[in-house]
Amino acid sequence: MLLSLALCLSAASQRVAAEEVPDFAGATLSGDWGGRRSEAWQSGWAFDGTVTVDALHNRGGLRNGGGANINIDLRATADLEKLAGWNGATAYVNVLYSGGSRINANYTGNLMGVSSIEAQVPTARLFQAWIQQNFFNDQFSLLAGIYPIDSEFSVMGSASLLIHPTFGAPGDLAQTHVASVFNTAAPGLRAKWLSVDQTLYGMAAVLNGIAGDPDYTKSYFFKATSGGGAFVIGELGWKPLEAGVTLHPAEPVDTVPTEPLYEHKKFTGESKYAVGLWRYSKPPPGQYAVDADGEPAQGHAQGGYVLAENTLFVLDEQGRDVSAFARYSWSNGLATAVDRTWNVGVQVRGPLASRPDDVLVIGAVYGGLSSGYRSTQAANGNPTAASENVVEIGWRAALTRYLTVQPVAQWTRHPGGGADAQRATVLGVRLQLVL
């Protein structure tokens, strides 16, 4: 299996030998701006944007109904070595607008959400702003600034097209007190190490314990909250199929890829095995767990995760393959309704030979409810189930390099964790446009 994948990677490497300017004309809606976008890229600037719309309709759960969520993502990357002679340095700024109908909050009522772009309130804000310095031929890097952990930590590439939020950040971690994930990030530091052959890595981050200001969720500019302590996370991983590959940017930026990188992503399978741990330095507010005297427990929220994804077999040399993924996460559940999650699924790239750029993805989520949350709900006369469970199926149809349409179906058992909650079915489509 690994030999077949290596042969596909070798074929892709032969097709594209050197770094070059991205194909803005073919990969983006707005094109090359009369050549000015390519000129900016060569001088050290990259300007990118993505519009994502989830048009969904819910049946069951809280009540029937639907609407659309929208996320507009604008990004600028500066190669400071080209622009200012600052060797190995990169700056990145990311602004978001998130809004829409709040399908889950208004209709489905899931504890773990429905759509990865649903925001608590409609708002436009600065999401990321950081500088990264690379050292030792990009083997080590240090990043400082406003940084979301789900841009690098606990990431599964083969699950990334599923729209349910827990296929990004684990459900138990995302529910902690304003974690640094979409759409509010926290300031901090992140250090990362790569082995010489690019297959092994280790990274750790220390961030403000509360991302943004929970009392001003509609703030348009970044606001940090003092007194929240610190959040620490670390991850160790192995990517066997990345041996000798140097096309990936060493920084966690999201840009239109150069053709060598595009070919690499298209013809290389998935291979990643990782373990991570996280902890908050201060006890969270509003804890469900209690001590022996019935008082709120004073422990520190902490947890971890293990994940694995791998391409099982290659269908042909057009970049068609089948991959599987699995992740288990856990926490002590002091202040979260969910204290453990399972994510499992498969991704089929090129399910039809006639459409090699389409992707079929199927995933399932198990969200175990914490004992403290269940006890609290029972005391209030609200019996709960042991878990909230979700199954999702999506087919991402690539109409062009810059426009995709993804029909989606989601089924949730025990939405909101209620023992008697009506099952919810969400049907719809995700539209994504690269600007």
pLDDT at 269: 86
**Res 2: pLDDT:** 40
41 domain residue, yes or no: no
pTM reported for the whole predicted model: 0.90
Three-class HEC string of the chain: CHHHHHHHHHHHHHHCCCCCCCCHHHHCCCCCHHHHHHHHHHHCEEEEEEEEEEEEEEECCCCCEEEEEEEEEEEEEEEHHHHHCCCCEEEEEEEEEEEECCHHHHHHCCCCCCCCCCCCCCEEEEEEEEEEEEECCCCEEEEEEEECHHHCCCCCHHHCCCCCHHHCCCHHHHCCCCCCECCECEEEEEEEEECCCCCEEEEEEEEECCCCCCCCCCCCCCCCCCCCCEEEEEEEEECHHHCCCCCCCCCCCCCCCCHHHHHHHHHCCCEEEEEEEEEECCCCCCCCCECCCCCECCCCCEEEEEEEEEEEEECCCCCCEEEEEEEEEEECCCCCCEEEEEEEEEEEECCECCECCCEEEEEEEEEEECHHHHHHHHHCCCCECCEEEEEEEEEEEECCCCEEEEEEEEEEECHHHECCCCCEEEEEEEEEEEC
Residue 66 lies in a domain: yes
Model pLDDT for residues 406-427, shown as the tens digit of each residue: 999 999 999 999 999 999 999 9
In a domain, residue 363? The reply is yes
428 lies in which domain range?
2-34+47-434
Whether 197 maps to a domain, the answer reads yes
Establish if 15 belongs to a structural domain: yes
Tally of domains in the chain: 1
Q: What is the pLDDT of residue 74?
A: 97
What is residue 371's predicted lDDT score, i.e. its pLDDT?
87
CATH number at residue 110: 2.40.160.180
Residue 250, pLDDT score: 64
Is position 254 within any domain? yes
Task: Answer whether residue 344 is part of any domain.
Answer: yes
Which residues of the chain fall below pLDDT 70? 1-19, 213-227, 247-250, 286-287, 289-298
Task: Tell me whether residue 42 is in a domain.
Answer: no
Q: Can you give the pLDDT at residue 223?
A: 60
Report pLDDT digits (tens) over 357-390.
999 999 999 999 998 889 888 888 899 999 999 9
